[in-house]
Chains A and B, each alone.
Chain A
C-alpha cells in the first residue's frame, strides 16, 4: 500500500491529543462557586486519581478515529496486481461512438473527431476488438467487432456529419447491446462528440452492461467565423390579379458572440434565386427578413432561404414547399325556396383553410360529372330516389363525403344501404320543452374542437323538431338529443364517410344555424368527410415520411418512387405505403412512375434548428447516468499504464477510511456520555 499524500501522516502527532486529554484535562478549568467549603475541606483530597487513565477503551476509540481520518487524507491505494479493479488485464471490446450530427460540421470539429477516433484505433492491442458506430438522432453501425485497424480507419474516414440532431441515448443503447454480446473481459465505450446540451434529456434508459466503462472525448474546437442559422420561415398567402402569391419571412439567429453586418440572405423559388437581401444582427440575437411576395407558379413550388457561408453550413438553408391552395369542391343538393340552404351556403362561403367551392343542385340535376368533380355532397333536407341513392353510394365508396340534414322532407330509399341510420318519423318538440343536443363524443374529429370549456356550447342549441334515427350496424352515434335519440350519426362506407344530422340546416326545426357553433360544426364536418389534411410546408430531419399520405389525392395513382435530395431512388411498395425516415436536408420527391419526371408530391426537409445551439454539457452527466459512476473507474481506454492518481480514484480507499473514522467518533460520543453517567 502506498499513499498519494504521505505528508498528511505528520498529523498522526495529533494522536497525543486524546492521551493528554485523558491525563490532564480530566478537571474542568471553569471554577465552580460554592456557598461554603466547610465540609469539602474536611475530606482528604485525592490528587493522584487524575493522573491515571481510567477509560482505556475510550482512549483507543479516540485514537483510532483520528488515525483513520488522517489516513483518509493521505489517500492510500493498493499496489497489488489483483486489486479490486482489474488494471490493464485482458483483451478489450471497444465501441467507438462517433457523433455525426450536423453540428459536428462546425469549424474544425469533424477533423478533430476523426483524429480522436483514429487515436482510439491506434491504441488498440493485438487482441482488442472495436466497433465503429456513428450516431445523430439515429444510430448506424459502420463496422462491428473487428481487430483490423485498416478497416476501422476506413470506416472512420467514410463517415461524415449528416443533417440530423444529436441524441445520445439511442447510441448508448446500441453500444450497450454490442458490449453485451462480447465475450472479452474488458468492455469499453469511447464517446466522441461535441456534447451539446440539446442531445441529452436525462438517462432515458441508456445504461451500459455491468463492468463496462465509458470514456468521453469532448470535441469542442471553436471556429473563428460567426455561426448564423435560419431558424424558420413564415409563409403569408395573398391573391393578386387572380394569382396566388406568398410572402416569405425568414427568422435568422446569430449563434456566435460577434455581431455580423450586412450579410446576404437569398430566396430561391422554383430552383432560381428570386430575391436577395442583406441583414445585420448582434451576437446571440435574432432578426427576421421579409422578401417581396412571390407568385406560386404551380403545385409543389420549392423555395429555399439561404445564407452565406459561415462556420456551420448545415443550418444556413431552410427549405419549404408551397402549392396553390386547392378548394374543396362541394355540391349542395337543395330543393330551394324559403332560404333553406341559405345558412349552409353562407357557412361554406367563409374560410380559407380550406376554401370551399360549392355549387347548388336540384336532386334531379346532379350529374355524374358533378360527382366526379366534387369531394363532398350535402343533402339539405331532400328526398332521394333510389337511382340517385345508388349513384351516391358509389360516390361515397370511392372516397367521397356525404353530409345529410334530415329535415321534414328528407327521405331515403330502404333498398340502398348507405345512411348511418334509418330516417324515421318526425318528432315535434315545439310544444313543451324543446330538445337539446347532448351526449357528444368529443373525441371525434368533428366535435374535438368543442371539447375545451368556452369553446362552443351545443347544449344551447334549441331543436323544435327532428327525425327519429335508427342507427345502422357499424354506425357511430356522435351526439344525442336530451331524450336519448341519436342527433348526429356517422358511418364509413368504402373509402368515404356519411354524416347524418337528425334535424334541418335552416331555422324551420332548430336555431342551430344562428348559433356560434354552426360554422365550426359545418367546417369540421366537411373537412372530416373529405379527409382534408392541410399540407405541411416542411418537415424536419428525423421525422418519417408516409408516402401513402403525401399528396395522394383521390383518383391519383400511388407513388412508386421516392427521390432523395442526394439523388438516391428509393422504391416504394406496390400499394404505395412506405415509411421513410428523412435523413437528408433538401427536397424529397414522390413520383408515380419510375420513368416519370413529374413529382406527385414534394416534401421539404430541414435540419433541426435546436442542433444549431452549440451549448455544451458536462460529459460526466452521461457517464454517471449510463454507468452509475462519475468516471470510468480509472480504466483508461488507451491501454497505457495507469497513474497512481487514476488507480487511487478507482479504489477510493480514503472514502472508507473517512467513513469509518466518523463512525468511530460517533461511537466515542455515545460511549463517553455513558461513562459520564
Chain B
C-alpha cells in the first residue's frame, strides 16, 4: 500500500475498486446494518417526522404544539400526536493504533489495512446519509470523532494522519469510549487483539451495553499466522522492545497451534456476547474480505 498523501485527504482509502465491489452487493437493505439506507427502516424512537405513529394521553410538560386539537374537539380530551422518527444511524470505527499494528511482513501493514477497512465502511455508510464517526486508541483514546452526517471528511483526515507509536491495551480505552456511544448504532472495532480472549471480550462488552451492534475485525499479518521465518534470529517485540532468540523452524508448529487456539477462543467468546467477529489476513484481498463479512451480516439479519 502506498503511503503517499493524496491531494484529497483520505482519498487513498477510497479505493474505487473496493467500493465498487461492495456496491454490487445488496447492501441497500437494512439487512446489513440497521439504518444503513435512509428511510428504509423505522427508528425505535419517536421523534419529529411526517409519518403519524399513535396518540397518547397528554401529560404535563408535553409540548402543547404537538397536541391534536381535532381529537380534543371531538372527545374533549388531550391527546398528543406521536410520529415515527426516520432517524439516521450512528456508525463509528474504533481503530487500534498501538505499535503492534505497525507491522507488515511482505505486504501491507496492519494499520494501513485497518485504515482501508475503516475508510471504505465509513464512506459507504456516509453515502447512505448515516452519521459517521471514529475513534483511535492505543493504551488510551487517541482520537475521537463523534458521529455526524457531516463528519466523513473529518474521519478521513484523522484516519490519514494516524501513526502508531505507543503500546496498546483494550480495556481502558474501550470502556471510556463506551460512554460516548450512548445512542444505538453500529461500532466496528479493528485491532490485532493481542490479549487473552477473556480480556478482549471483557473490554468489548461495554460497547454492547447500550444496544450498539458491535463488529470486531481481527487483523493479522501472514507472518503472524504462519510464522514463515527461515533463519534463526533475535525477535524483538514491537511494543515492549523485548528481544527473544528464536529458531523459527523449531517453534513454528507450536506457535501456529497457539495462534489458532487464540482465534477460535475469540470467535467463541464473541459469539456468546453477540458480537460479530471476523479474522482478516492482510494478504487476502480487501474487497473479498468485506464482501464475505457483509454477506455474513446479511444472512444474520435475515434470520432475525
The yes or no answer to A38 lying at the interface (CB within 8 A) is yes
Tell me the residues in window 75-95 of chain A with beta carbons closer than 8 Å to chain B beta carbons. Answer: none
Say how far A41's CB is from chain B's closest CB, in angstroms.
Answer: 7
Contact with A along B227-246 (1 / 0, CB 8 A): 00111111111111011111
For B233, what are the chain A residues with a Cβ–Cβ distance below 8 Å?
A: 27-32
The yes or no answer to B251 lying at the interface (CB within 8 A) is yes
Could you say which interface size class chain B belongs to? 20 to 34
Interface of A is mostly: loop
Once bound together, how far apart are the Cα atoms of A41 and B100, in whole Å?
Answer: 16
The yes or no answer to B247 lying at the interface (CB within 8 A) is yes
Once bound together, how far apart are the Cα atoms of A352 and B245, in whole Å?
Answer: 103
The yes or no answer to A16 lying at the interface (CB within 8 A) is no
Once bound together, how far apart are the Cα atoms of A616 and B103, in whole Å?
Answer: 71
For B235, what are the chain A residues with a Cβ–Cβ distance below 8 Å?
A: 31-34, 37, 40
Say how far B101's CB is from chain A's closest CB, in angstroms.
Answer: 7
Which of A26, A29, A37, A43 is within 8 Å of B242, CB to CB? A37
Q: Are B245 and A27 in contact (CB under 8 A)?
A: yes
Once bound together, how far apart are the Cα atoms of A219 and B230, in whole Å?
Answer: 67
Q: How many residues of A contact B (CB 8 A)?
A: 24
Say how far A676's CB is from chain B's closest CB, in angstroms.
Answer: 6
Once bound together, how far apart are the Cα atoms of A39 and B243, in whole Å?
Answer: 13
Q: Are A32 and B250 in contact (CB under 8 A)?
A: no
The yes or no answer to B208 lying at the interface (CB within 8 A) is no
The yes or no answer to B221 lying at the interface (CB within 8 A) is yes
Q: Are B232 and A50 in contact (CB under 8 A)?
A: yes
Q: Are A45 and B244 in contact (CB under 8 A)?
A: yes
Once bound together, how far apart are the Cα atoms of A39 and B237, in whole Å?
Answer: 11
Q: Are A36 and B245 in contact (CB under 8 A)?
A: no
For B110, what are the chain A residues with a Cβ–Cβ distance below 8 Å?
A: 35
For B258, what are the chain A residues with a Cβ–Cβ distance below 8 Å?
A: 39, 42-43
Say how far A598's CB is from chain B's closest CB, in angstroms.
Answer: 102
Contact with A along B5-41 (1 / 0, CB 8 A): 0000000000000000000000000000000000000
Once bound together, how far apart are the Cα atoms of A49 and B255, in whole Å?
Answer: 18
Once bound together, how far apart are the Cα atoms of A293 and B153, in whole Å?
Answer: 107
Once bound together, how far apart are the Cα atoms of A45 and B232, in whole Å?
Answer: 12
Q: Are B103 and A35 in contact (CB under 8 A)?
A: yes
Q: Are B103 and A32 in contact (CB under 8 A)?
A: no
Q: Are A46 and B244 in contact (CB under 8 A)?
A: no
Q: Which residue of A lies closest to B230 (CB)?
A: A676
Say how far A54's CB is from chain B's closest CB, in angstroms.
Answer: 11
The yes or no answer to B76 lying at the interface (CB within 8 A) is no
Offer 12 A-B interface pairs, CB within 8 angstroms, sorted by A: A31-B234, A31-B235, A32-B236, A33-B236, A33-B238, A34-B237, A35-B101, A35-B192, A36-B238, A37-B240, A43-B258, A49-B250
- B binding-site residues for A, Cβ under 8 Å: 100-101, 103, 110, 192, 194, 221, 223-224, 229-240, 242-247, 250-251, 254-255, 258-259, 262
- Beyond A32-B234, A50-B232, 14 additional pairs, beta carbon < 8 A: A31-B235, A33-B235, A33-B238, A34-B237, A35-B110, A35-B194, A35-B221, A37-B242, A39-B262, A40-B255, A45-B245, A46-B250, A49-B247, A50-B247
- A binding-site residues for B, Cβ under 8 Å: 26-43, 45-47, 49-50, 676
